[in-house]
Amino acid sequence: MIDAFECDVLVLGAGGAGLCAALHAADASPTLSIAVVVKGLFGRAGCTRMVQGGYNAVLTPPDSLEAHLTDTLDGGGWINDQELVWRLVTEAPGRVLELESRYGCLFDRNAEGRIHQKPFAGQTHDRTVHKGDLTGIEIMNRLTEQAQARPSIRAFEECRAVELLRDDAGRAAGALALDARAGRFFALRARATLLAMGGGPTMYRVIACSADKAADGIALAYRAGLPLRDMEMIQFHPTGLVIPGSLMTGALLEEGLRGAGGQLRNGLGERFMARYDAARMERSTRDLVSRASFLEVSQGRGTPNGGVWIDVSHLGAEVVERNFRGMVRRCRDFGRDLARGPVEVGPTAHFMMGGVVVDPDCRTAIEGLFAAGEDTGGVHGANRLGGNGVAESTVFGGIAGDVMAAFVAGRPMPRVSEAALEAAAARCAAPLGRGGGAEVYAIQRELRDVMWERAGLVRDAEGLGVAAATLERLTERLGVVGVPGHGPLNTAWQDWLNLDSQLTAARLIVASALARRESRGAHWRRDFPVPAATPPVCVRVQGRDGAPLVWAEPVAMTRARPPAGARRPVAVEIGD
């Protein structure tokens, strides 16, 4: 018998999207019971806390909502869902003010006492609100305090959702969860459920995202039969630390360094961005700068440890230490002095632009199931602008909370069959006690290697085909290997479950990348190195008979159209 709990609103995830959703639902209707399931510790897990740079919002002229919209669409290669983007840019200013006046966040001020906004790459105006270079910590600390102060919100720490539950009519009914401390399954029945677990491309060798991420929400959505979009679009941030032999390789040095005038140089000392985007140089978009760095290294112009240099020392040590305290401290922990000399960096897997298809009210194709944040696709298109990520999570998290609070009014608690719970629990418990525990980590290494080398910054049909075949083989291997048989505090079991989600997401990434026979944004095909001449399409994927079904749909140009004949800069071919 699996223990069951009931709640009105179930929030899966406790980053910016999950906490904003819980707070909005609680404040919209204080009598609601709200459960928040978090894989780690409440307020300490996930990626929102790791945000250094800031939060994009239009606050003062000459910036405008139309400019923010156009910057986001241009950066996204014009495959974004324009209604989602418009919702983002129109609600972000109000959410910033809410974070300050309602939840207690304190953002940096300029000399006139107004909220300070700094420059970020790919944007026509300085619109990034921040708290030094530790913005995520400020936001998460305040949201966590507010959530803990509301008695209607209950947190289930160190628990993970392992299956979405449905009633007999196919409507969302909550989730089956696993308590990692106790090693026990329990069911959370809910009138409305939110997927806000965060993506996290941890299936790659070098990562910037939180290591507890495994694209669990995307895997849950795929198994539930939901359509997803833009899964081929993986953002590689251009400036991840290069620390040989350390797991800190890939940890971010944020985009504000380039916005403030930081220079990128290759191993020969050249400012190589002149070859790729002479107009914007280091302030070009993340997709292009990352790819340019990768190509410089591939063509033999990298640093001794296979990266490039970022240098902000010409700004003056005092300026760097005052404005980028967190990054200066991080670099000094590893013997690098960001304030006084160049630091070695390289591309690092950072963000998943793709995810569940939602409408502007965060509804999915399953009644009663909502999604917000990095679990969703459509806002960012082919490339996310720095500062739009935490804006997306808090804006759409708040929207989801408001919509769910209204949705559950008068709705009965859904029923779930005990047999369905037992079947889902049996699937997740299958590896317990089987032999071959060490094999889990061999599969993990091979997954990360093949995704980095064959489905990373530079792709082609041959490499993607190799990746697809490898992923099928690794999925079959994972299905027969096991972990030690005890349930409580079984880290090997948790790693098996992570790997199961990562393999699912990786298969969707590769299938979608094969289908997009052009280069656009973060997706660069060596065999199709330019954008398609036809109007932009979005690639969608959904499960069908145990395999991904992939198709393309035209992008709805509901708010704006790309300039006629416009082509974004494309990196030169390897070997040129």
Known catalytic residues are 237, 258
Tokens of 306: 């296979």
Q: Decide: 241 and 331 in contact? Cβ < 8 Å.
A: yes
Three-state secondary-structure class, residue 503: helix
Structure tokens at 181: 């401390």
E strand or H helix that includes residue 333 = none
CA 38 – CA 17 distance, rounded (Å): 12
Retrieve residue 514's tokens: 């094969």
Instruction: Give SS3 for 80.
Output: coil
Alpha-carbon span 286 to 241, nearest angstrom:
15
3-state secondary structure of 462: helix
Looking at the DSSP bridge assignments, the partners of residue 192 are: 9
Is the preceding omega at residue 62 within 30 degrees of 0, hence cis? yes
DSSP string, 172-218: EEEEEEEETTTTEEEEEEEEEEEE------TTSSSB-S-TT---HHH
Pure H helices in 370-490 = 388-407, 418-429, 439-454, 461-478
Which of helix, strand or coil describes residue 562? coil
The answer to whether 306 and 206 are in contact (CB under 8 A) is: no
Cβ within 8 Å of residue 278, ≥6 positions away:
none
Question: Which of 65, 356, 427 shows the shortest CA–CA distance to 193?
Answer: 356
Burial (CB count within 10 angstroms: exposed 0-12, middle 13-18, buried 19+), residue 56: buried
Residue reference for tokens 């409580």: 488
Residue with tokens 């950066």: 75
Q: Is 273 helix (H, G, I), strand (E, B) or coil?
A: helix
The backbone torsions φ and ψ at residue 475, rounded to the nearest 5 degrees and listed phi first, read -65, -40
- Which SS3 state, helix, strand or coil, does residue 417 take? coil
Residue 298 contacts residue 574 (beta carbons within 8 Å) = yes
User: In angstroms, rounded to a whole number, what is the distance separating the alpha carbons of residues 106 and 160?
Assistant: 32
Scan for tokens 């591939």, then name that residue.
298
